[in-house]
Each structure stands twice: as C-alpha cells, then as structure tokens.
A and B are shown apart, each in its own frame.
Chain A
Amino acid sequence: MNLQAEIPLHYMIVLSTLLFFIGLVGVLIRRNLITMLMGIELMLNAVNINFVAFNHYLYPHRFEGHFFALIVMAIAAAEAAIAIALIINIYRKFSTVNVDDVDELKY
C-alpha cells in the first residue's frame, strides 16, 4: 500500500496539531485532576502520531520514530499510574480531586 501517494504527510501533522491543542484545552478548562490527566494523555498521543508519521514518511530505513513512540508510551503508563496513586492519596486527605480546593502542602 503506497500511503505517500494517497495521504500527504501534512494531513497527519494537521491531525496531530489539532489533537494536541484539544488536549491542551482539556488541561486548561477543567479543574478536576482526572480530566486534566486525560488531556495530557491526548497530548502525548498527538506527539506519538507525529513521531510515527515522520518515521514512516521521511525515514523508512530506520525505526527511530517507532522506538521513540514506544518509549513515550512506557513513560505515559508510568506517569498515569503515579498520577492515579497521587490522586487517590489526595482524595483520602481532602475528599476531593478539585485542584482549586487542594491548596495546603502540609495538613
């Protein structure tokens, strides 16, 4: 399948740009820690699309983008797990996950 002729690289970049900034809006407009985490996941996925697209279109003789996306995924998994551990701990102490209500460093 010759993807280059069918879909130019710019289509992929436009898609990932839109996805990245939708994720940014999600981080900015919500005050709930879990929805902010979801926005960050969207942004990481947009970056992954870019890596994979550049690898496939421009440098098909190497796997750099592929491995970079793989490592980003591993770090995203670690980050999500730690974030959720922190969220559950915050919920135990403050009974809320709203960032505006969590304003004490020491209880």
Chain B
Amino acid sequence: MTGPKIIFYILAFSTILFSLLSVFDRRILRAAIYLLFVLVAIAGLFYMMNFQFLAAVQLMLYAGGIVVLIIFSILLTSQINSKLDAPKLMQLLAASFTALFGIGISLYTILPYVFKPSAAPTLEVNMRNIGLQLLNTGEQGYVLPFEVISILLLAALVGIIFIAKRSRT
C-alpha cells in the first residue's frame, strides 16, 4: 500500500459510507451534514486527480453554497428534531432492486472494457491554461458554454426572485 492508494481508499470509503448515511438517516438535518462530508471527500478526489481549481470550486459551490441552502430550507420547513417517515417496505425493496440491477448492469458492461489512454502529451493543469481555454473562441475554446451558463444563471436568479416572492393577493 502506497500513499495515494491509502488516501484513495479513505476518500472512497468515506464517500460511500456518508452517502449511505445521508440517504438512510431519518433525521433530516444530519442527512444534510452527511451530504456535506460526501461533497468534501469528492473534492479530495478531484484534488488527487490534479484538478485543484475544480476541487476549490467544489468546496466553494457545493459545500459552501448548496449545503447551506439545503440547511436553510430544512430549518424553514421543518422542526429540527423531526424525523422522516420510514419508507414503506415495498418502496424500499423496489428501490434497492432497481439500484442493485443498475449497478449490476453498469459494472457488467464497464469492468471488462479496456480503456486506451490517449498518447498525446499531457497538458499541464494550471490556472493559465484553464483561463486561456475557457475564454478562447478558437479550437478547444469554451467561451460559448461559458456565456450560455452566465445567461442561465441570470435567468435562474430572476426566476427564483419571481417564484419566492409573496404574491400580492
């Protein structure tokens, strides 16, 4: 066992463990906190794969933004110590059957497949390259999705204000 392997196993194990806890814990506030742990572990995985910028965005956006929003909405809509209803047995069985079936199909398809890495020289992941590609209009440029995302975020902002404001009547 070497260093990266140990770190990967710790991150993968905590991801799976906390996501299971987040799904099956009936105290909703704790489920949200377990979701936070899952997101932090995934940020660690991104960091392992050398995508430091993406890991930082994951921590800021998910751990700092979305989990806080979810906790706010939990506090606005339910008592802190209220428990969720236990799922019905049929529902639980159907959901686990679906999940196990899906996992089986996916792994049966993927595991025997041999992936061939590209032989092209590695592009260093640093902020300079990321910024140049993100705002480049030429080949390997991503300025169009970047602008479309900004319009989407603006539309979402306007829509949220419209939905959440109290109606006058």
Q: Interface majority SS on A: helix, strand, loop or mixed? A: helix
Determine the chain A residues whose CB is within 8 A of the CB of B129 once the complex forms: 63
Interface centre among B23, B45, B53, B117 (most CB of A within 10 A): B23
Task: Let me know if B23 and A1 touch, CB within 8 A.
Answer: no
Asked if B91 lies at the interface with its beta carbon under 8 angstroms from chain A, I say yes
Contact A21 B103, CB 8 Å, known A3-B48, A29-B23, A73-B57: yes
Q: Select from chain B the residue with minimum beta-carbon distance to A2.
A: B4
CB distance from A21 to the nearest CB of B (A): 4
Task: Let me know if B77 and A87 touch, CB within 8 A.
Answer: yes
Contact A6 B5, CB 8 Å, known A17-B110, A21-B99, A67-B134: yes
Determine the chain B residues whose CB is within 8 A of the CB of A86 once the complex forms: 163
Q: Select from chain B the residue with minimum beta-carbon distance to A51.
A: B54
Asked if B10 lies at the interface with its beta carbon under 8 angstroms from chain A, I say no
Interface centre among A25, A53, A60, A76 (most CB of B within 10 A): A25
Asked if A70 lies at the interface with its beta carbon under 8 angstroms from chain B, I say yes
CB distance from B20 to the nearest CB of A (A): 6
For window 28-49 of chain B, which residues contact chain A by CB distance below 8 Å?
A: 28, 31-32, 35, 38-39, 42, 45-46, 48-49
Determine the chain A residues whose CB is within 8 A of the CB of B70 once the complex forms: 34, 37-38, 80, 84
Task: Let me know if A66 and B130 touch, CB within 8 A.
Answer: yes
Asked if B80 lies at the interface with its beta carbon under 8 angstroms from chain A, I say no
Residue interface mask A15-47, B partner, CB < 8 A = 1: 101111111111011111011011101100100
CB distance from A94 to the nearest CB of B (A): 10
Asked if A102 lies at the interface with its beta carbon under 8 angstroms from chain B, I say no
CB distance from B72 to the nearest CB of A (A): 7
A19 vs B20: C-alpha distance in the bound complex, in angstroms? 9
